[in-house]
């Protein structure tokens, strides 16, 4: 199970990779409420590779801050791969970063449905040329789901950056 220490270590690794590649990161977070951005900015010198973070907790924030189309949310719901993709791409459009990560999900304990139970989290990673999306299902209480989601976002960011080199 991911812990704050795991998230911090992943943020350090992502920061080293971004700095080495001379890239900057933007985040668009919903259910994690800025946990990824916090883990990053806890690192001294992160301003060299972290451009900005958007906490788009409400649907209106997703629409107003990063340009997620309202129709996309209406058609697929806020917790969906199409919205995660639009969030990642919107974070790039509304920043000077070259890479982004997005997170939208149901952390619980309420808010889940049969189709999207508590622990359902959708992710996006984008670099202006390619956007990768996926959905994960995490177990645990609200804080455990959020921490696992933050760790997963950073772990997959490292993989996404590695793919860029190929």
Q: Which domains are assigned to the chain?
A: 4-165 (3.90.950.20)
The pLDDT score that the predictor gives to residue 1 is: 65
Contact residues for 33 (Cβ-Cβ < 8 A; gap 6+):
55, 57, 146
Condensed to tens digits (0 to 9), the pLDDT of residues 27-81 reads 999 999 999 999 999 999 999 999 999 999 999 999 999 999 999 999 999 999 9
Q: What is the pTM of this model?
A: 0.96
Contact residues for 77 (Cβ-Cβ < 8 A; gap 6+):
83, 116
| Neighbouring-strand partners of residue 99 | 25
For residue 166, pLDDT over 50 is answered with no
In the chain, what is the greatest distance between 2 CA atoms, to the nearest angstrom? 43
Residue in the block written with tokens 């951005």: 37
Q: Is the dihedral of CA 35, 36, 42, 46 positive or negative?
A: negative
Condensed to tens digits (0 to 9), the pLDDT of residues 96-127 reads 999 999 999 999 998 888 889 999 999 999 99
- The answer to whether 83 and 72 have CB atoms below 8 angstroms apart is yes
139 pLDDT band (50/70/90 cuts)? very high
| Neighbouring-strand partners of residue 166 | none
The pLDDT score that the predictor gives to residue 114 is: 87
- The answer to whether 99 and 145 have CB atoms below 8 angstroms apart is no
**Which alpha helices (DSSP H) does the chain contain, by range?**
4-21, 35-41, 59-66, 70-76, 81-93, 142-165
164 pLDDT band (50/70/90 cuts)? low
Tokens of residue 50, six digits? 């972290």
Q: Is the dihedral of CA 83, 86, 92, 94 positive or negative?
A: negative
Among 4-8, 25-29, 132-136, 150-154, name the one with the lowest average pLDDT.
4-8
């Amino acid at each position: 199970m991911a812990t704050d220490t795991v998230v911090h270590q992943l943020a350090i690794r992502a920061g080293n990779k971004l700095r080495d590649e001379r890239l900057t990161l933007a985040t668009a977070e919903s259910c994690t409420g800025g946990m990824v951005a916090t883990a990053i900015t806890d690192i001294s010198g992160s301003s060299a590779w972290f451009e900005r973070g958007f906490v788009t907790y409400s649907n209106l924030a997703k629409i107003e801050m990063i340009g997620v189309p309202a129709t996309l949310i209406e058609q697929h719901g806020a917790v969906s791969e199409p919205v995660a993709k639009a969030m990642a791409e919107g974070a790039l459009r509304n920043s000077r970063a070259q890479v982004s990560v997005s997170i939208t999900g149901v952390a619980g304990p309420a808010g889940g449905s049969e189709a999207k139970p508590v622990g359902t989290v959708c992710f996006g990673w984008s670099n202006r040329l390619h956007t990768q999306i996926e959905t994960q299902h995490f177990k645990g209480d609200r804080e455990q789901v959020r921490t696992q989601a933050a760790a997963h976002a950073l772990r997959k960011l490292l993989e996404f950056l590695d793919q860029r080199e190929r």
